[in-house]
């Protein structure tokens, strides 16, 4: 039976209340029989990743690991968008302190998600540009509904996908395809993404998406968990360590980059264009 809880707890009823009071940016459903969790991003309209949403995700991921959840399906409550990527307002005219805090939380969240010992599936129920694509790529398996867009489109916006975003893509579709996609800032249709292996499976609709995500999870739950997670971390450790060992440098790149007047101009124009749509 599924029990809906906001911002996860596997603990007592009173701690459920505490977490629910803290945020409703992330809905968490736990299958109490299997220990599989559905984490649903819930920041309308497009799940743009601001500090608060990242913090809610990070807190949930820490809890999942501590409570030894058996698997996690990441999806969103939005009808059209998985995640619109980083919240552009976090990068538009912030203070240095705010930008630093934001970037640190993005790094924390990515490290937790990418290194999660339990199986992770992205059930991509809508568009997934830039940071949204990063979230999906950080899961082990990706299933997507038809006719939506996914990719690292940063170049198109006059910004640059950080090295660890690029590494994630390279690890999935290979160096040549990733280089082409990153230089061009390609947003792939779901169907194109399936062809190049950026996503693993296409679903017909949200119901089929969740069914396929559970099927994948069932397969993974049949494997010895320690062997499974050891192989996973073996594959991911170089990519993880590359960021872990250079977090400060990475943050400095981010800060130096976004405070350039030209970058701020591009962000302003892009934000205006989005509003005018």
Ligand X SMILES: CCCCCCCCCC/C=C/CC(=O)SCCNC(=O)CCNC(=O)[C@H](O)C(C)(C)COP(=O)(O)OP(=O)(O)OC[C@H]1O[C@@H](n2cnc3c(N)ncnc32)[C@H](O)[C@@H]1OP(=O)(O)O
The binding site for ligand X (CB under 6 A) comprises 45-46, 48, 80-81, 84-89, 127, 129-131, 153-154, 157, 159-160, 162, 253-254, 257-258, 274-275, 277
d(CA 83, CA 43): 9
Give the whole-angstrom CA distance, residue 96 versus residue 133: 26
- Minimum Å gap between C-beta 121 and ligand X is 21
Q: Which lies closer to ligand X via its Cβ, residue 140 or residue 154?
A: 154
Residue among 206 and 211 whose Cβ is closer to ligand X? 206
Under 8 Å between Cβ of 253 and 162: yes
Burial class (CB in 10 A: 0-12, 13-18, 19+), 62: middle
Distance CA 22, CA 236 (A): 32
Minimum separation from the CB atom of position 154 to ligand X (A): 5
Q: How far is the CB of 243 from ligand X (least distance, A)?
A: 12
Bridge pairing between strands 2-6 and 201-202:
unpaired
Q: Are 142 and 199 in contact (CB under 8 A)?
A: yes
- Report the residue closest to ligand X, judged by CB: 85
Residues recognised as catalytic: 86, 131, 153-154
Task: Tell the smallest beta-carbon distance from residue 11 to ligand X (Å).
Answer: 33
């Amino acid at each position: 039976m599924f029990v809906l809880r906001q911002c996860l707890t596997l603990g007592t009823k009173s701690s459920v209340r505490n977490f629910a009071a803290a945020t409703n940016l992330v809905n968490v459903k736990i299958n109490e029989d299997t220990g599989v969790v559905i984490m649903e991003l819930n920041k309308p309209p497009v799940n743009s990743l601001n500090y608060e949403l990242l913090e809610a995700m990070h807190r949930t991921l820490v809890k999942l690991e501590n409570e030894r959840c058996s698997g996690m399906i990441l999806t969103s409550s939005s009808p059209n968008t998985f995640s619109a990527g980083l919240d552009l307002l976090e990068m538009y005219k912030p203070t240095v302190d705010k930008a630093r805090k934001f970037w640190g939380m993005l790094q924390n969240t990515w490290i937790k998600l990418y290194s999660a010992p339990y199986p992770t599936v992205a059930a991509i129920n809508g568009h997934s540009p830039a940071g949204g694509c990063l979230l999906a790529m950080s899961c082990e398996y990706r299933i997507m509904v038809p006719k939506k867009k996914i990719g690292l489109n940063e170049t198109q916006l006059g910004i640059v996908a950080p090295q660890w975003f690029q590494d994630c893509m390279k690890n999935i579709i290979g160096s040549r395809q990733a280089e082409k996609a990153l230089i061009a800032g390609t947003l792939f249709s779901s169907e194109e993404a399936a062809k190049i292996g950026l996503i693993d499976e296409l679903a017909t609709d949200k119901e089929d998406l969740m069914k396929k995500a559970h099927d994948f999870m069932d397969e993974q739950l049949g494997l010895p968990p320690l062997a499974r997670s050891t192989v996973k971390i073996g594959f991911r450790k170089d990519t993880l360590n590359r960021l872990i060992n250079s977090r400060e440098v990475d943050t400095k790149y981010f800060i130096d980059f976004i405070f350039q007047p030209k970058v701020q101009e591009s962000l302003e124009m892009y934000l205006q264009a989005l509003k005018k749509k």
